[in-house]
Amino acid sequence: MPTERAALGRLAPRLRAAGPAAWSPRVWALVAGFAALLVLAPLASLAVEALRGSSGLWPHLLAYVLPQAVRDTVLLLAGVGLVVVAVGAGAAWLVAAYEFPGRRLLDWALLLPLAVPTYIVAYAYLDLLHPVGPIQSGLRALFGYARPRDLVLPDVRSLPGCILLLGFVLYPYVYLPVRALFLMQSASLIEAGRSLGLGPAAVFRRVALPLARPALALGASLALLEALNDIGAAEFLGVRTLTVSIYATWVNRSDLPGAAGIALVMLVLVLALISVERAARRRRHYAGAAQRSRRMSRTRLSGLPALLALGLGLAPVTVGFLLPAGYLAVAALERLGSAGLSAAIVSETLATLAYAGVAALFATGLGLVVAAGPLLSAGGAAWRDALLRCATLGYAVPGAILAIGLMPPLSALDGALDALSRQITGTGLALVGLGSGTALVYAYVVRFLAITVGSSEAGLARVPRSLGDAARVLGRGPGGALARVHLPLTAPAVLSGALLVFVDCVKELPATLLLRPLNVETLATHLYGEAARGTYEDGAVAALLIVAVGLLPVALLLRVSTPKT
């Protein structure tokens, strides 16, 4: 250490002579402020548009729209929360605490429902569970019933059906962090519970589960935000949530102030959800495993208990992935065999990849600069944290809220540019905001910027600061150090963030439905249209393509989420 300090002391004059050692705080504040403005502008516009509505707007919403929408939304979130916590935590404990044949396969298979968007699962089960669909027809054949009315399962088009389907798709948000916490848990805590006479179920309920509360709160909040963002599954299954009400108010009635008012209520619900999640972890301290402490050993199962454990673990995988993905594969093959690959699917796939790729590129570049600012600038820790929080707020805001909030400012921008063009050239200007893909890319970037900021921060945190100082000695400025030193070393993390944003853009439905350019369809909107018309087989190819793309981040998670035990 004395030798290193002496060496740094000799290098200090060269570092000072090389010029400013960091970005000016104003430079980073300008970039981070721009990112924060991108997020806050639609939210401010939302409030203004809701408040400037007619005098009868809020009485109408309070009397006829909000009661059912709020009730259905709250009941949906409560039900989904219970399902994802029960299934996610139970599956995590199963693979962390027990050893049985098939456990390693089950360990990663439990992540597969992440590849299937909620609206695709609803789309698949509407056909699978139809009275003349394959499941009910097979049951009638098995039990010898001749007529469809002789055996009718409960209708999946209901609030309980929506809760179950969303829960079995979103439980990996709880499974992943809780599983990681269980795998790192110290064996002494579990053994202390067993020494006090607690059985396996009691140890899980009274020792392991309370210790996992931070991971449970985080995972459940993410799952509920995804459920709140859903529009396709809720609408397909007859649940009138706030998101569905926003879309119906804008599309069916062309009532932007009314849609903005509903979105404002939904934003309050989002903020309340985030506040509850933070309050659940405030002023609480949890025992954890020391770095070198002995990890919890798995209990080996054999025979019937092992078979039962495997069956319990496969149940959520089957419901959340295998059945819908298998149905889509069969339906897509039948469609391709009878009609071939349509030109429309090809153009929709290209449009989907283009919008998602452009958004991922912009979000990655902006996220990298925002994340690198605290590393390459100096001073202003308080305002720096505030800007970072504002810039990454978009991930917590559902796509429908962002879309409605973007409409007024982009419409005003189009009008101003058109008026300016007429004054200068005498001709109008083509729409560059709402009438083009700009609005859609804007919404994607705002919604998923937090992902690229987080991945870039994680990568930059692993680069020793001394390497940046070495680049300064060689005459590189902060931008040059970022491009030539930090970026190559953080490329895997940055590219991982870009991949996640790309896949999320491909799957995003609410913002795409509201902001896509005229006469342009993506895979998600094509599938939504086919499901709305009831022509399920025609949308199977698009759904299967989305699921195939969704498998990419699951494969990435498999590489980075398994601790070495």
**Which residue from 231, 239, 192, 230 is spatially nearest to 211, judged by alpha carbons?**
192
- 199 within some domain: no
- 293 within some domain: no
Element (H, E) at 300: strand 299-300
Q: Give the per-residue SS3 of 96-153.
A: HHEECCCHHHHHHHCCHHHHCCHHHHHHHHHHHCCCCCHHHHHHHHHHCCCCHHHCCC
Following CA atoms 174, 180, 184, 187 in sequence, which dihedral angle do they give, to the nearest 10 degrees? 50
Q: State which residues form the domain around 423.
A: 24-51+342-533
Residue 191 is predicted with a pLDDT of 61
The domain spanning residue 464 has which CATH number? 1.10.3720.10
Residue 479's pLDDT band (boundaries 50, 70, 90)? low
What is the number of domains present in the chain? 1
Looking at the chain, how many residues does it have? 565
d(CA 482, CA 40): 28
Cα angle at 91 between 305 and 290, to 5 degrees? Answer: 105
d(CA 156, CA 138): 17
d(CA 2, CA 71): 66
- 291 within some domain: no
435 torsion bin: left (phi>0), alpha (psi -120 to 50), beta (else): alpha
How confident is the model over 244-285, as pLDDT tens digits? 999 888 877 778 888 888 888 888 888 888 777 777 666 555
How confident is the model over 441-478, as pLDDT tens digits? 999 999 998 888 888 777 777 666 655 555 555 555 56
d(CA 387, CA 26): 12
How confident is the model over 144-183, as pLDDT tens digits? 777 777 777 788 889 999 999 999 999 999 998 888 888 7
How many CA atoms within 13 Å lie on the side-chain side of 415?
Answer: 6
- 538 within some domain: no
- Supply 422's token pair: 């007429």
End-to-end Cα distance, the chain: 34
Cα angle at 261 between 255 and 267, to 5 degrees? Answer: 135
d(CA 32, CA 483): 18
Least confident of 49-58, 215-224, 396-405: 49-58
* Tokens 């548009």, residue located: 49
Q: What is the pTM of this model?
A: 0.84
- 98 within some domain: no
* Tokens 């931070």, residue located: 214
- 471 within some domain: yes
pLDDT(34) > 80: no
Residue 16 is predicted with a pLDDT of 46
- 437 within some domain: yes
- 335 within some domain: no
pLDDT(292) > 50: no
* CA distances from residue 274 to 114, 280, 292, 396, 504 in whole angstroms, order as listed: 22, 10, 34, 8, 21
* CA distances from residue 120 to 156, 165, 204, 327, 530 in whole angstroms, order as listed: 14, 10, 34, 11, 11
